[in-house]
Structure 1
Amino acid sequence: MVGLVFDSLHTPGTPVATGRRSPGAAATAPGPAAGPAAAPGRRPGTVRFEAVSKTYPSAAGPVRALDSVDLAIPAGAIFGIIGRSGAGKSSLLRMVNRLEAPTSGRVLVDGAPVDALDTDGLVALRRRVGMIFQHFNLLAAKTVRQNVALPLTVAGVPRSAIGPRVAEALRLVGLEDKADTYPSRLSGGQKQRVGIARALVSDPEILLCDEATSALDPETTLAILDLLRDINRRLGITIILITHEMHVIREICSDVVVLERGRVVETGPVWRVFGAPEHPTTQALLEPLTRGLPPDLADRLQPLPTPGGSAILRITWAGQGTPDLSGLAVAAGTPVRLLQAGIERIQGHAVGRMLVAVPGADPDVEARLRALGGAVERLGYVAPEAEAG
């Protein structure tokens, strides 16, 4: 399946992403007034937040949703924004297409400040920035075909051009056989695919995903994430998604920013943030995905060594090569018992944790194990019967 391109909705002078093709001259129509466009030779779809703050009025006084956010999102990235409820994720996302305006600071799309756009420029921007929602936002009285066609109808695209575009969008999301079905007869995953097709039919350069999988079951969530990844690969669209689910970030994103009370507390490649989270908020969000100390050991963990007992060490890998198991005992200089381990590869990097027990209270064993790569932390000590099972 080839990528989508709908030249009639591209603003004059706005380059089409590499790898897309036009469905033909019959699909063209006069474009709207120009919004921000990428510089010549530069791939479209960059977003930058410069010292962005947002304050909302309330009866109890002003509420600051965002506080001096600086962030750069490159073209073609799948970029995740994560945080607890109320962290400011939605406010930040909705500034890209100016559904929200910053109280201070600037938002730039392809280097052009969004706040400087006039009405025609804002309309053009919103046709270049697609959006999908948690609860699909489909019109119940319209068929799948009519829901997907809606942005083109509103934009005044000729009827003869709408059909081919809608058909191609539905093929891309795998719903060409549901074109005349009403939303009430679709599953949640199918409804979200319709929402994605509707967002793509205007050939956007940026796709905003507002908790797009939160209303879906785990299996459907993975299918939708696979679809978004495929769309990014085929079309080169920049995807920005917000979520409170770390597993969604792990599955699809290349980079992530963590928000807490409107501030950026951590950002970086997903493999690094997952492998070595630095901020307590990130660590708390990752807790459901990490296997902590087994309860039977946690209940018996002591701060001081016990005669004949063991020290419990946690070894963490974040980007280094996979651990050499055969070399653990050699490096430690003492027998090593493996209690628990979980290692995966994220973006080609080994990320994981290993829980081991070593005899005695040798204070230098951590330093010797660090020679293998990874971080080593002594959690405490247990008596022999505590770790025998």
Structure 2
Amino acid sequence: MAEVTGSLAFERLRDPGGRIATGARVVPVARATTAPRTAGSVRFEAVSKSYRTVTGTVRALEAIELTIPAGAIFGIIGRSGAGKSSLLRTINRLEEPSSGRVLVDGEAVGTLDADGLVALRRRIGMIFQHFNLLSAKTVRQNVALPLAVAGVAKAEIGPRVDEVLRLVGLEDKADVYPSRLSGGQKQRVGIARALVTRPEILLCDEATSALDPETTLSILELLRDINRRLGITVVLITHEMSVIREVCSDVVVLERGRVAETGPVWRVFGRPTHSATRALLEPLTRALPEDLAARLQPHRTPGAALVLRITCAGEAPDLAALGAAAPSVRLIQAGLDRLQGRAVGRMIVAVADPDPEVEARLRALGAEIERIGYVAADD
């Protein structure tokens, strides 16, 4: 992975062919560097957050322990009110924890004075669900705004704005006003504005929620490309598991302000351990076929077949070994995907004349087994 630390010079990062990707196309650049990445890590240590309301105190976060490694694409997911936004906003201290510490590159954010906080926020870019562009300013002016506020010399602002507009594929829209842009183009402007200060961390607050599915995929591909080529740590919050599956390397699931579970995306998707995760995954999981669900029985009757849901995470199921473990198995439904180079899938099978050791033999193959019920042998 081509990465740099400190001040990120976009024009120096390229693929072996000497080009840098924009998500829509590639742009020639001058030369590359491959310095090891050391900046962009985040650590939450027993972070809690409470809000006072007219009805009392609300606990938004409760004793969060979590590490986001430098250079990761890290997803924070949970249902409405789970604490996602509160957690994200403690990274750049838009929210102050009620207790605990947030550390960025090992430095406690809560100990920073005013100047230190300004410096921190210049190292952390942020993009939003509704773009937050100034309608009276052109694309170029919107992107330049953080540099103008920071007092960067005008002679430097122009080239840096041009860099990031090329990076996101909008150099031909520099003098266009936001009202003339599509939703995806507006979000690319937001990404360019967040990158123009050359941050180490990019925070994405429901950045794709206002976009259609096709545009969402293009924005996620852009974020993945930025992470891969610039080494920027990307932290995104969403309520959509499909977004996490598409772009993230690791994920934390929040439920009522607590960590429900966390880990690599392939494992959390393949073998969720918490009910909140399973609920969030439900839209991505194929339901039982209607005809099977209508005939399903909770108890075994003479000649009935045992219906099992077999879940694999990490390795694809060995169908030959599966057949050997349960010779009378009949496949009803199956779906297999690959995440981060690992197999994640589920099968529903019916096992005729099961003996008590069938499930044990299946588990010995590394599969997770769930009894669904029984169906008549002739179904």
Under a length normalisation based on structure 2, what TM-score does the superposition of the two structures give? Answer: 0.90
**Larger deviation, residues 106-115 vs 290-299:** 290-299
The one of 174, 186, 206 equivalent to 2:169 is 174
Hey, what does 1:59 align to over in structure 2?
54
Are 1:83 and 2:78 matched, yes or no? Answer: yes
Hey, what does 1:105 align to over in structure 2?
100
Hey, what does 1:189 align to over in structure 2?
184
Matched residue pairs, number? 356
Rounded to whole Å, the distance in 1 between the matches of 2:6 and 2:210 is 35
Hey, what does 1:153 align to over in structure 2?
148
The one of 375, 383, 386 equivalent to 2:368 is 375
Rounded to whole Å, the distance in 2 between the matches of 1:176 and 1:65 is 41
The alignment partner of 1:259 has SS state of strand
Contact 1:305 1:361 in 2 (8 A): no
Rounded to whole Å, the distance in 2 between the matches of 1:228 and 1:369 is 40
Change in 2 beyond 3 A, CA 1:310/1:57: same
Shift of 1:372: 2.8
Shift of 1:19: 8.4
Rounded to whole Å, the distance in 2 between the matches of 1:128 and 1:143 is 24
Q: Deviations over 1:211-261 (max 9, x none)?
A: 000001111111100000000000000000000001111111111111111
Rounded to whole Å, the distance in 2 between the matches of 1:125 and 1:301 is 58
Gaps of 5+ in 2: 14-35
Q: What amino acid is aligned across from residue 377 of structure 1 in structure 2?
A: E
Are 1:341 and 2:334 matched, yes or no? Answer: yes
Rounded to whole Å, the distance in 1 between the matches of 2:323 and 2:328 is 5
Under a length normalisation based on structure 1, what TM-score does the superposition of the two structures give? Answer: 0.88
Hey, what does 1:356 align to over in structure 2?
349
Q: What amino acid is aligned across from residue 161 of structure 1 in structure 2?
A: E
Contact 2:6 2:200 in 1 (8 A): no
Gaps of 5+ in 1: 6-13, 23-40
Shift of 1:17: 5.9
Hey, what does 2:27 align to over in structure 1?
none
The alignment partner of 1:213 has SS state of coil
Shift of 1:309: 2.6
Hey, what does 2:220 align to over in structure 1?
225
Contact 1:17 1:236 in 2 (8 A): no
Hey, what does 2:240 align to over in structure 1?
245
Hey, what does 2:157 align to over in structure 1?
162
Q: What amino acid is aligned across from residue 359 of structure 2 in structure 1?
A: E
RMSD: 1.8
Q: Deviations over 1:112-137 (max 9, x none)?
A: 11111111111111110000000000
Q: Deviations over 1:179-237 (max 9, x none)?
A: 11111111111100000000000000000000000001111111100000000000000
Rounded to whole Å, the distance in 1 between the matches of 2:67 and 2:320 is 43
Contact 2:139 2:175 in 1 (8 A): yes
Shift of 1:311: 1.1
The alignment partner of 1:299 has SS state of helix
Contact 1:53 1:105 in 2 (8 A): yes
**Larger deviation, residues 305-314 vs 348-357:** 305-314
**Larger deviation, residues 119-128 vs 287-296:** 287-296
- Report % sequence identity: 74
Change in 2 beyond 3 A, CA 1:272/1:298: same
Shift of 1:328: 2.4
